[in-house]
């Protein structure tokens, strides 16, 4: 019996094979049936078993009366184990079967694997002593680990992305070869993996031929035949700490196009929002807009360069947004106070507001209102409920006053400030205890009347 794993088959449409053995929990079986997980060995296969950082193919093994779903393929010595379960019927040793691999899964891996090689080559062009430390290639994304003695900068990501895209657009032929290891190691600029042990004969993957050769790596993975097949590329995350191993996570093909589109849509949304803030329009939607941007940044794949730029701009918008929103909130509070002063005759007017305002901002408003009667503003949405009282005279507080407040709530804190002939009492409660604030305001009424 000879098992082989021809990884350099052209993209296979299907293949016939014969079942050589069936394994379950380290025991041999003559037949796979039922829901249990089995491993199937074949006389030959075109399935790619997980190796070299690329995850295995998925697919199925079929007979006239059996359908076996292959969810993983692992290589043990030279044996290729197709791991999965029967979806229907049964498969026995000696059966002639038909193999089918899931094309989208394989094609995704092919695009991402060739893109890994291009990224590897491009990194070598801008950094010194690049060493590949590992990679993980799946149909939807790939990650690339490496070390370098160079200092990496944020703006390098744009250069890298452009360089990789340029190689993709150049339509370079991707060639595969098999040769003795010592011969392969003679190839100038051959890229090998750090700490990897290679067999006596190795596969090489070259991108570009002759004078336009871009790179040659020792590699047994599956690849596209032309760099144009990769279509698109972007980097979605990059850890670039000066020490240790760096990692880039990237997308190619449809996923990269989608991420670039996501970034484009968000960029447009932010531009509109920036204009809105500039003209102070639709202020009531601002907080929701910021929430939306943050959610998209968190949940959707977006090129890291765009992601970082948008993050920075949103953070910068924070200050101007706060200033505008504060002005609006101050105006609202002013109106609330005026309305109350008109409609109540009590010695101390108490306004309870939903607006989130700091005691400092409330004091500014009270100064502007300049009421002849004492005004107390209870800010209920503050983390520590606060009551700011403004008196238009400089009053002396005896110790009894604070003691009376503390009899309502022992956690009450009282501060007194004098500004522009007004006395401010800033009373803070640790919790949002609205009923206590009512009790305190009643106490104020009796003290001030
Ligand atoms: Zn490779």
pLDDT digits (tens, 9 = 90+) for 233-285: 999 999 988 888 999 999 999 999 999 999 999 999 999 999 999 888 898 89
Q: What distance in Å separates the CA atoms of residue 441 and residue 435, rounded to the nearest whole number?
A: 10
Which has the minimum average pLDDT: 192-196, 329-333, 369-373? 192-196
Mean pLDDT, range 435-447, rounded to an integer? 76
Task: Determine the distance separating the centroid of ligand 1 and the alpha carbon of 206, expressed in angstroms.
Answer: 10
Task: Determine the distance separating the centroid of ligand 1 and the alpha carbon of 409, expressed in angstroms.
Answer: 70
Task: Determine the distance separating the centroid of ligand 1 and the alpha carbon of 291, expressed in angstroms.
Answer: 41
- Report strand pairing: 375-379 vs 349-353: parallel
- Higher-confidence residue: 148 or 319? 148
Task: Determine the distance separating the centroid of ligand 1 and the alpha carbon of 220, expressed in angstroms.
Answer: 6
191-194-199 Cα angle (round to 5): 75
Task: Determine the distance separating the centroid of ligand 1 and the alpha carbon of 136, expressed in angstroms.
Answer: 10
Which letter, b or e, does each residue of 288-306 get, where b requires 16 or more Cβ atoms within 10 Å of its Cβ?
ebeeebeebbeebbbbbbb
Task: Determine the distance separating the centroid of ligand 1 and the alpha carbon of 404, expressed in angstroms.
Answer: 78
| Residue 126 pLDDT > 90 | yes
Q: List all residues 6 or more positions away from 1 whose beta carbon is below 8 Å from its beta carbon.
A: 20, 43
Which has the minimum average pLDDT: 264-278, 327-341, 345-359? 345-359
| Residue 116 pLDDT > 80 | yes
Average pLDDT for the chain: 88
Instruction: Write the pLDDT tens digit of every residue in 6-39.
Output: 334 445 678 899 999 999 999 999 999 999 999 9
How confident is the model at residue 12, as a pLDDT?
A: 65
How confident is the model at residue 445, as a pLDDT?
A: 74
Task: Determine the distance separating the centroid of ligand 1 and the alpha carbon of 273, expressed in angstroms.
Answer: 44
Q: What distance in Å separates the CA atoms of residue 45 and residue 43, rounded to the nearest whole number?
A: 7
pTM: 0.78
| Residue 100 pLDDT > 90 | yes
Task: Determine the distance separating the centroid of ligand 1 and the alpha carbon of 436, expressed in angstroms.
Answer: 69
Contact yes or no for 106/11 (Cβ under 8 A): yes
Task: Determine the distance separating the centroid of ligand 1 and the alpha carbon of 106, expressed in angstroms.
Answer: 14
Phi, psi of 174 (to 5 degrees): -105, 120
């Amino acid at each position: 019996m000879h098992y082989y794993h021809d990884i350099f088959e052209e993209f296979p449409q299907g293949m016939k094979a014969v079942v050589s053995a069936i394994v379950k929990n380290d025991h041999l079986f003559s037949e796979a049936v039922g829901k249990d997980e089995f491993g199937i060995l074949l006389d030959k296969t075109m399935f790619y078993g997980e190796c070299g950082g690329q995850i295995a193919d998925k697919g199925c093994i079929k007979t006239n009366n059996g359908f076996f779903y292959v969810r993983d393929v692992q290589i043990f010595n030279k044996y290729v184990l197709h791991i999965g379960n029967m979806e229907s019927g049964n498969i026995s040793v000696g059966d002639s079967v038909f193999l089918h691999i899931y094309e989208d899964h394989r094609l995704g891996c092919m695009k991402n694997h060739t893109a890994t090689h291009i990224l590897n080559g491009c990194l070598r062009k801008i950094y010194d002593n690049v060493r590949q430390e590992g990679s993980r290639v799946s149909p939807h994304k790939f990650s690339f680990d490496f070390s370098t003695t160079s200092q990496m900068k944020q703006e390098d990501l744009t250069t890298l992305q452009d360089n990789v895209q340029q190689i993709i657009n150049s339509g370079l032929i991707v060639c595969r070869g098999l040769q003795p290891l010592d011969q392969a190691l003679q190839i100038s600029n051959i890229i090998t993996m750090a700490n990897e042990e290679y067999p006596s004969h190795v596969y090489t993957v070259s991108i570009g031929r002759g004078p336009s050769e871009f790179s040659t790596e020792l590699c047994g993975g599956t690849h596209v035949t032309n760099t144009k097949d990769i279509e698109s590329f972007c980097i979605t995350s990059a850890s670039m700490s000066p020490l240790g191993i760096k990692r880039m996570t990237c997308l190619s093909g449809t996923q990269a196009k989608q991420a670039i589109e996501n970034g484009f849509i968000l960029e447009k949304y932010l531009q509109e929002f920036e204009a809105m803030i500039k003209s102070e329009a639709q202020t009531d939607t601002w907080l929701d807009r910021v929430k939306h941007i943050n959610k998209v940044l968190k949940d959707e794949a977006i090129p890291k360069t765009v992601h970082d730029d948008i993050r920075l701009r949103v953070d910068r918008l924070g200050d101007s947004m706060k200033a505008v929103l504060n002005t609006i909130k101050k105006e609202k509070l002013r109106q609330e106070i005026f309305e109350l002063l008109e409609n109540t005759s009590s010695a101390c007017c108490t306004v309870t507001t939903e607006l989130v305002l700091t005691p400092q901002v409330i004091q500014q408003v009270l100064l502007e209102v300049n009421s002849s009667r004492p005004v107390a503003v209870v800010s209920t949405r503050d983390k520590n409920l606060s009551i700011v009282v403004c008196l238009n005279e400089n009053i002396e507080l005896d110790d009894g006053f604070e003691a009376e407040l503390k009899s309502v709530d022992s956690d009450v804190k009282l501060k007194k400030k004098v500004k522009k002939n007004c006395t401010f009492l800033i009373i803070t409660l640790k919790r949002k205890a609205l009923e206590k604030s009512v009790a305190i305001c009643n106490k104020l009424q009796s003290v001030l009347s």
